Amino acid sequence: MSDQGNGSKSMRAGTEAEIRVSSRDVRQDIPFFTGTLRFRLEKIFPADHPRVAVLAGHGVRLRLETGAAEPPGTLRILTEEPAAFAAGATVLTAPNGMRIEIEMLDPPLRIPDTEHAFVVRRLRDQDPWVIGRAGMLYRDLIPSRLGGTIIASHIRIPNGGPVPDMVHFHSVGFQLIYCYQGWVDLVYEDQGPEFRLLAGDCVIQPPEIRHRVLFASDNIEVIEIAVPAEHVTTIDHDMTLPNGTLRPQRRFHGQRFVHHKLADAVWSPFRIPGFTHRDTGIREGTDGVANVQVARFQSGDPPATRHTGDILFNFVLQGAMTLQGEQQPDVDVSQGDAFVIPPGMSTRYAHCSADLELLEVTLPGLFETSVDNS
């Protein structure tokens, strides 16, 4: 009696969740869910004429209930081998009418073909800021996303302090965080203890590296670039960061973590005459997937140029200039503005202010630039 009582108390102390699904006849549903879909029958009642069956599998508990008011809905099963799961079927219908979709557990990353366009996004046009993940404010720098290839965001946190973030990772092909104003404390998998990213510094977040934003200064602003535009963010509830490991040369899907510091920058001639630049080491770190440079106007009258890259994005860090594009009206750009130059288009950075600095992000990392003498 005593043991049974303790056992009942222990069971009552637990918590379970069920998704209720309408059934026409539980007895007809059970063979399909346990056989074809590989669920396990856990409860069934009443014995003489079952109206309820509880099944568990693939991280889900289903309560099949005869006559339940809810429509059957759709059940998605993600598996490493869809072709071997339900005799190759990818869409099935259960006896109760529930739609079943069998899909790849971790599908390969797909980056859409770039829809090239000449894009200018100006801060003074009062583009809206929207509230995004962890309460951060986002401003879209490429509204068209170039057909879904890339997203560029100007992100800010007005009030500093602890950031309500969790250990997470992104399924991306490339991702950059450039600290534009203020500072932020970050921590990354296998990269040692937390560190402070200062204004002018940047990091790349290799695909699926676990990381967390810890603390931010007041009015922190960052520029974040990610490829493709739509990508999955996954919370890792099992990892704690820092994880006590230092492996700076570790590759995550072919890329390694890069932390570029403004304080250590070396300046050299830029691809466009009249400018100097600091290289971030990101082209090497991504094995040529992308490159990130900060260009600074030096002197003279920069010529018109053309490039052969796929994506060439710029954010005006400070200063001003006139962007002259082939068959486009001249556009004055200044601090906080962004623009994209498509491949093959002749452009010129004219009337540059002495303090002009540009953040340039290019994919791929290596391409050709030619002076346009036409």
Q: What's the pLDDT tens digit per position in 327-344?
A: 999 999 999 999 999 999
Residue 57 reports pLDDT greater than 90 = yes
Q: Give kind and range of the element (H or E) at residue 282.
A: helix 282-285
How far apart CA 239 and CA 179 sit, in angstroms, is 26
Instruction: State whether 129 and 50 are in the same domain.
Output: no
Instruction: State whether 86 and 159 are in the same domain.
Output: no
Contact predicate 233/212, CB 8 Å: no
Contact predicate 363/313, CB 8 Å: no
Q: How confident is the model at residue 133 (pLDDT cuts 50, 70, 90)?
A: low
Instruction: State whether 309 and 353 are in the same domain.
Output: yes
Q: What is the widest separation between alpha-carbon atoms in the chain?
A: 96
The rounded radius of gyration (Å) of the Cα atoms in the chain is 27
Q: What pLDDT score was predicted for residue 136? A: 78
Domain count, the chain: 2
How far apart CA 181 and CA 218 sit, in angstroms, is 9
Instruction: State whether 360 and 283 are in the same domain.
Output: yes
One-letter identity of residue 285: G
Structure tokens at 249: 């040369």
Measuring CA to CA, which residue among 84, 86, 87, 31 is closest to residue 55?
Answer: 31
How far apart CA 149 and CA 284 sit, in angstroms, is 22
Instruction: State whether 257 and 133 are in the same domain.
Output: yes
Q: How confident is the model at residue 134 (pLDDT cuts 50, 70, 90)?
A: low
How far apart CA 285 and CA 335 sit, in angstroms, is 28
Instruction: State whether 65 and 174 are in the same domain.
Output: no
Instruction: State whether 295 and 372 are in the same domain.
Output: yes
pLDDT tens-digit series, residues 260-313 = 999 999 999 999 999 999 999 999 999 999 999 999 999 999 999 999 999 999
Instruction: State whether 14 and 151 are in the same domain.
Output: no
Q: Give the mean model confidence (pLDDT) for residues 28-47.
A: 95
Measuring CA to CA, which residue among 142, 190, 182 is closest to residue 163?
Answer: 182
DSSP helix/strand/coil, 204: strand
Angle at 153 between CA 160 and CA 143, to 5 degrees: 145
Structure tokens at 101: 């979709």
Residue 130 reports pLDDT greater than 90 = no
Domain edge (last residue) among 59, 85, 104: 104
Contact predicate 34/41, CB 8 Å: yes
Q: Give the mean model confidence (pLDDT) for residues 361-370.
A: 97
Domain that residue 7 falls in: 2-104
DSSP-derived pairing of the beta strands 338-340 and 331-334: unpaired
How far apart CA 359 and CA 144 sit, in angstroms, is 20
Contact predicate 231/177, CB 8 Å: no
Q: What pLDDT score was predicted for residue 374? A: 62
The domain that holds 283 is classified in CATH as 2.60.120.10
Contact predicate 109/118, CB 8 Å: no
For residues 69-95, b (16+ Cβ closer than 10 Å) or e, as one string? eeebeebebeeeebeebbeeeeebebb
Residue 215 reports pLDDT greater than 80 = yes
Q: What pLDDT score was predicted for residue 159? A: 86
pLDDT > 70 fraction of the chain, expressed in percent and rounded: 95
Average pLDDT in the chain: 93
Instruction: State whether 166 and 263 are in the same domain.
Output: yes
Instruction: State whether 135 and 45 are in the same domain.
Output: no
DSSP helix/strand/coil, 27: helix
How far apart CA 307 and CA 368 sit, in angstroms, is 6
The domain that holds 68 is classified in CATH as 3.10.180.10
Instruction: State whether 204 and 293 are in the same domain.
Output: yes
